[in-house]
A and B are shown apart, each in its own frame.
Chain A
Amino acid sequence: MASKDTHKDESGSLYKKAEKIYPREVHGLFAMWRSIGVLVLLGIYYIAPWLEWADRQAILLDLPNRKFYIFGLTFWPQDFFYFAVLLIIAAFALFFFTAIAGRLWCGYACPQTVWTEIFMWIERKIEGDRPQAMKLDKMPWNARKLRIKGTKHILWLLLAAYTGFTFVGYFTPIDHLTLRILDLSLGGWEWFWIIFYSFATWGNAGFMREQVCIYMCPYARFQSAMFDNDTLIISYDEKRGEPRGSRKRSEDPAEKGLGSCIDCTLCVQVCPTGIDIRNGLQYQCIACSACIDVCDSVMDKMGYEHGLIRYTTENAMQGKPAHILRPRILVYASALLLMAGALGYAIATRVPLEIDIIRDRTKLFHETSRGLIENVYLLQIINKDEQAHDYNLDVSGIEGVKAILKSNVIHIDKGNIAEIPLRLHVDPYDLKKRSSEVTITLQATDNPDIRIEEVTRFLGPTGRR
């Protein structure tokens, strides 16, 4: 009976009509860890946008103003490099943990898992556990079914709406967002994204669930490339379990010629992706370890040892020695450490000053009444620091080059951009080429470490006359 509803993927096709899965509720060690994970991660998600840091939201990816605030740091679009390195670090961290412990991410930390867990928790509170939910779905629509389903969807939608609101709160200050929702003055696009994200949450965590993991997730498609024989996987101990079969608690399985598996199919019933772990490692398995917990509880009842389904490795299953440190792990770990160190160093030594030099394109150069060659530039100077600074400007590269500025000291407020016209004068006798390099140096008067150099070109008539 069990094997009938477990061989769902015989067609070999990745896409088929989805059957609704009713995972049975599970208690045990790993279920507890998963609950802790869900609580901690959801707690971080819902609380983080409300944290304050120096009179502003601590984590604010302020898209409308093109500045990202992460606690004491402010990132500008020009700092995209850090974001790119962060993504590479995240990728290597994923590779590293996958190689060591398999799909830890999928089972415990992925938002898809986390929100599915909380949505299923609500569903169980309203509809009851697996048999009741299945019965409810089979029965014809009546007032009771409508009431139960309605309650569930209202609760789901409320949670989804709050999730969408929180999501937008990461990108636009959440206290203003709250006020503007309350007095109905919120802009159309903010409403749009709140509703969009809410519906995505409702759909993904309420309906699509394991199908997101099986069909849509890119990581699920390539995670097996990081696996080797020493990767921690969830596995059924076939040698110990087979031949499976039901028996009375008092019977000795050895006498009946049976293994430890009593074929209760609970491991299939608790599986959120609807697979039978006894068929071996499958790509649908998100390593949530629900089957371990439920099987251990059955082993307890039967008076057998734990671990018929357990975390193990291919090598351990075959009685070979396990290796934690292996080339793959060392490569991932060193790449991870190297990139993380580089990012840490780059952020620690980051100069909170940026300069863009834009040439005046209407005239390449011209001659002043005193016979000097003049080039005109527009300086865009960004003070990325959290305090105002005065800056000195210095030009070098051509002998006798003179900078003409409105004032000698450039003052820029914190987090501001100043556009400063700059004229450079050079005696034509000092020009050796049509186009010469000049270096513009900017340095804060109160902190010599805040200093940047930028190279641009000075154009003139053909060299010496």
Chain B
Amino acid sequence: MADDNLPTCQKTISILWPSFLTAGLATVLFFTAFDPAVLLQETRFADTSRLGAYSIGFFLFWLLTTTSCALTCFYRKPCSPKK
């Protein structure tokens, strides 16, 4: 497959970059709709600053989108019937 010729670095970036973009979008939409200060006020994370909550939220979204991008790459590989 053509994919296998890609350097690992570029494979990694091709997963991290689209997920970065969509995570950014998701963060903007999510925190526009929900105020982290309100979401967290009844929890033990109530002391988290909004900036901290946005940042952690962004990285959680990024983790999620990275996972789905990586799974797409993983399942794109056809499975060999010989194995």
Q: Footprint of B on A, CB under 8 Å?
A: 13, 15, 17, 63-66, 77, 80, 172, 187-190, 192-193, 215-216, 218
Contacts and interface: CB of A to CB of B under 8 A. Distances in A.
Interface stretch (B4-12, B39-47, B71-79): B4-12
A181 to B, nearest CB: 15
User: Which one of B10, B31, B33 has the greatest number of beta carbons of chain A within 10 Å?
Assistant: B10
B35 A66 contact: yes
Given A77-B35, A192-B55, A13 B2 contact: yes
Interface string B1-31: 0100111001001100100010000000001
5 contacts: A15-B10, A64-B50, A187-B49, A188-B52, A216-B13
B49 A216 contact: no
Interface size class of B (residues with CB under 8 A): 10 to 19
A189 B7 contact: no
A63 B5 contact: no
Contact of B55 (A66, A189, A215): A189
A189 B49 contact: yes
Contacts of A193: 55
Given A15-B14, A77-B32, A172-B51, 6 more contacts: A13-B2, A63-B50, A65-B50, A188-B52, A189-B49, A192-B55
Contacts of B31: 77
A216 B6 contact: no
B17 A216 contact: yes
Contacts of B49: 64, 187, 189
Contacts, number: 38
Contacts of A63: 50-51, 54
Given A13-B2, A13-B5, A216-B17, A80 B32 contact: yes
Nearest to A80: B32
A451 B49 CA distance: 34
Contacts of A77: 31-33, 35
Contacts of B17: 216
Nearest to B35: A66
Contacts of B7: 15, 17
A190 B51 CA distance: 8
Given A77-B32, A216-B17, A189 B52 contact: yes
Contact of B50 (A15, A66, A80, A216): A66
B51 A64 contact: yes
A192 B54 CA distance: 13
Nearest to B52: A189
B18 to A, nearest CB: 9
A186 B13 CA distance: 31
Given A66-B35, A216-B17, A189 B51 contact: yes
B32 A187 contact: no
B14 to A, nearest CB: 8
Contacts of A64: 49-51
A218 B52 CA distance: 29
Nearest to A77: B32
A53 B2 CA distance: 56
Nearest to A78: B32
Contacts of A13: 2, 5
Contacts of B55: 189, 192-193
B60 to A, nearest CB: 15
Contacts of B14: 15
A189 B54 CA distance: 10
Nearest to B55: A189
B20 to A, nearest CB: 10
Contacts of A218: 21
A193 B50 CA distance: 14
A17 B2 CA distance: 14
A311 B21 CA distance: 33
